[in-house]
Amino acid sequence: MKYRKKPVVIEAVRYLGHGMVEGGEVPDWKREAFEQGVLQPTNGADPLYVYTREGRMLVSPGDWIIKGIQGELYPCKPDIFAQTYEPVEPT
């Protein structure tokens, strides 16, 4: 049997390294994740760790940080992100 992923709208930022994100504007949920310890730097500024439901995962510069539909954060490699997501026009 085959299944198709339901269309959902997510929030995401592309991590560029050294605390920077693509577009320059850091969303509030990313700041809150640092304050709560969900996002943590490694032995410097890069890469980052994100604590997910599956455990600690690495976020390298160029990866996307996705905020899921239940508020959970997880990393996504750029090629997978491009194959899975497309921009949504603001409503």
* Model pTM score: 0.83
| pLDDT higher at 3 or 33 | 33
pLDDT mean over 35-54 = 86
Sign of CA dihedral 79, 80, 83, 86: negative
| pLDDT higher at 20 or 68 | 68
Whether residue 4 is predicted with pLDDT greater than 90 in this model: the reply is no
Whether residue 45 is predicted with pLDDT greater than 70 in this model: the reply is no
Give the number of other Cβ atoms within 10 Å of residue 84's Cβ: 12
pLDDT mean over 2-7 = 83
Whether residue 71 is predicted with pLDDT greater than 80 in this model: the reply is yes
